[in-house]
Amino acid sequence: MNRQLSQQEIDAVFQNLQDRKRETPAAKFDFRRPDRIPKSQVRAIHLLHDTFVRNVVSSLSAYLRSYLTVNLVSVEQLSYAEFLDGLPSPTCMVSLGLKPYDGNGVLELNPSLVFPILEMLLGGNGKSSGAIQREITEIEQRLLDGLFRIILNDLREAWKGVTEVDFTIEAMETEPQLLHILAPNEAVVSIGVEIRMGDTVGMMNIALPSIVIKMMRQKFDQQWLVRKTQATEAEQARGLRMLQEASLTLEARLEGPRLSVRDFLNLEEGFLLTFDLPIEHPVELTVNGERKFSAQVVSTGKKRACLVEEVRPGKA
- The amino acid occupying position 227 is R
Residue 195 lies in a domain: yes
Residues 199 and 283 in one domain: no
Q: Which of 99, 44, 36 is nearest to 223 (CA)?
A: 44
Q: Is residue 22 part of a domain?
A: no
Shared domain for 196 and 112, answered yes or no, is yes
Torsions phi, psi for 92 (to 5 deg): -120, 110
Mean pLDDT score, 207-217:
85
Distances (CA, A) of 171 to 43, 46, 106, 156: 29, 26, 10, 18
158 and 301 share one domain: no
| pLDDT confidence tier of residue 281, bands split at 50, 70 and 90 | confident
Q: Is pLDDT at 23 greater than 60 in this prediction?
A: no
Span of 30-34, 36-40, 160-164 with lowest mean pLDDT: 30-34
Please state, in angstroms and rounded to a whole number, the distance separating the CA atoms of residues 37 and 60. 31
Residues 206 and 77 in one domain: yes
128 shares a domain with 46: yes
Residue 301 in any domain: the answer is yes
| Whether residue 205 is found in the same domain as residue 283 | no
Task: Verify that 210 and 295 share a domain, yes or no.
Answer: no
Same domain for 201 and 282, yes or no, is: no
Between the two ends of the chain, the Cα-to-Cα distance in Å is 78
* Phi, psi for 235 (deg, rounded to 5): -65, -40
- In a shared domain, residues 178 and 290: no
Lowest-pLDDT choice from 16-20, 163-167, 246-250:
16-20
28 band by pLDDT with thresholds 50, 70 and 90: very low
Residue 92 CB neighbours (<10 A): 25
pLDDT of residue 223: 57
Residue after which a domain boundary falls, among 215, 234, 266 = 215
pLDDT-derived band at 31 (thresholds 50, 70, 90) equals very low
Residue among 111, 116, 136, 135 nearest 126 (CA): 116
| C-alpha span between 81 and 316 (Å, rounded) | 59
Round to whole Å and give the CA distance between 295 and 28.
Answer: 76
pLDDT of 307 higher than 70 = yes
In angstroms, the Cα distances linking 126 to 59, 66, 123, 174 are: 18, 10, 9, 21
Residues 95 and 186 in one domain: yes
Q: Which amino acid is at 207?
A: A
Range 24-43 average pLDDT: 60
In the chain, what is the greatest distance between 2 CA atoms, to the nearest angstrom? 112
Is there a domain that residue 169 lies in? yes
pTM above the 0.85 mark? no
Is residue 102's pLDDT more than 70?
Answer: yes
The CATH number given to whatever domain includes residue 160 is 3.40.1550.10
CA atoms within 13 A on the CB side of 316: 2
State the chain's mean pLDDT as an integer: 80
Whole-angstrom distance, CA of residue 60 vs CA of residue 214 = 30
108 in a structural domain: yes
State which residues form the domain around 282: 247-254+277-316
Q: Residue 30 has what pLDDT?
A: 47
User: For residue 278, which of 254, 260, 302 has the smallest C-alpha distance?
Assistant: 254
In tens, the pLDDT along 61-93 reads 888 888 889 999 999 998 999 999 888 888 899
Range 243-261 average pLDDT: 78
Name the burial class of residue 89, with classes exposed (0-12), middle (13-18) and buried (19+) by CB atoms within 10 angstroms of its CB: middle
In the chain, the number of structural domains is 2
Please tell me the least confidently modeled range out of 71-75, 157-161, 234-238.
234-238
Summarised one tens digit per residue, pLDDT across range 112-130 is: 888 888 888 888 777 766 5
Alpha helices (H) along the chain: 7-23, 39-64, 80-85, 111-121, 138-159, 210-215, 217-243, 261-265
- Cβ 114 vs Cβ 192: under 8 Å: no
Is residue 79 assigned to a domain?
yes
Under 8 Å between Cβ of 96 and 191:
no
**Do 281 and 177 sit in the same domain of this protein?**
no
One domain for residues 165 and 303: no
Residue 99 domain flag: yes
Assess if residue 49 is contained within a domain. Answer: yes
The CA-based dihedral angle spanning residues 268, 272, 278, 280, taken in that order and rounded to the nearest 10 degrees: 60
Determine the 3-state secondary structure of 105 from DSSP: strand
